[in-house]
Amino acid sequence: MADELVPEDRLVAVEALVDGWLAAEQATNPAVAAVERDPQRALRRWYVRLRGEQKDVFTLWLTLGQRTLQWETYVLPAPEENHALFYEHLLRRNRTFNGMAFAIGEEDAVFLVGQLPVGAVDEGELDRILGETWAYVEQCFRPALRIGFASRFNASH
């Protein structure tokens, strides 16, 4: 069943759900700075700009596909030093996460990623995705920065 394409009418309904939920979040959630849609609308993709405390601002990308809702956020670039300790730290953090994990992306940058079957998308799951993404970035950004960029970090303080 998970390999079957979701019917177009269900995708349209989930798209409307995400649109409505994001509009409400932008109006009521102080962590949500802005919400945009893919300009060409070729993809069912949203860009959610979030205000953080440890990391000032970051963007959560939500992409509704034929089978899944995928999300990701850029956390930080590839480490300059302490590579083994840096990746060990992130892998150990992955064990405590619910439904998402650190991954290596373009230019070896670190992303936080997750996916959910389209049939499971509801407001509760959207709340979880947004809240946990925010919390995980906030918890992990500064410690990872201290490990992977120790020389720069220590030189500035």
User: Considering the domain boundaries, does residue 80 fall inside one?
Assistant: yes
Tokens representing residue 23 in the block: 């509009």
pLDDT at 2 over 70: no
Per the structure, the complete domain to which residue 129 belongs is given by: 8-155
pLDDT at 57 over 90: yes
User: Considering the domain boundaries, does residue 1 fall inside one?
Assistant: no
User: Considering the domain boundaries, does residue 42 fall inside one?
Assistant: yes
Dihedral of alpha carbons 43, 44, 49, 55, sign = negative
Residues 101 and 115: their CA atoms lie apart, in Å, by: 10
User: Considering the domain boundaries, does residue 3 fall inside one?
Assistant: no
Tokens representing residue 137 in the block: 């970035």
What confidence tens digit (pLDDT) does each residue in 101-138 have?
999 999 999 999 999 999 999 999 999 999 999 999 99
